[in-house]
Amino acid sequence: MRQFTQSGRSRIRNPSVVYTHEVPDVNHCDFHYSHLLPKKPGILPLEETMTKQCRRCGAEFITRSRIRKRCDICQTVVSAEKQKKANERLKARRAARRLCLVKAC
């Protein structure tokens, strides 16, 4: 087996030595970086609950969702705040567009 260096000269490897490389069991679809990511926890069995702590108010709440981070009350407050900000951004975009159209005329 011959290996080329950057200078263009070839370097001969010892042909009697067998080089092995372990390949993880992944198909071509999930090749990119998924093997470096942490493994996901298994799916909770149906009707199993877990106790979590709210990241906003610190209260403990019971949920069946692994991804839930806030209690019901905080979740509704945060959702309303996000919706309000989104509406403000939308209104600002529309106002800027109207202003741009008025200047163009």
Task: Say how far apart CA 63 and CA 86 lie, in whole Å.
Answer: 28
Query: Any bridge partners for residue 62, and if so which?
Result: 51
Task: Say how far apart CA 88 and CA 42 lie, in whole Å.
Answer: 40
pLDDT in tens, 77-87: 999 999 999 99
Q: Which residue has tokens 């011959």? A: 2
Question: What are the residue ranges spanned by the domains of the chain?
Answer: 45-105
pLDDT in tens, 40-77: 766 666 678 889 999 999 999 999 888 889 999 999 99
Is residue 1 over pLDDT 90? no
> What percent of the chain is modeled with pLDDT above 90?
41
Is residue 12 over pLDDT 60? no
* pTM strictly above 0.75: no
What was the pLDDT predicted at 15?
56
Q: Contact at 8 Å (CB) between 64 and 44?
A: yes
Q: Contact at 8 Å (CB) between 66 and 74?
A: no
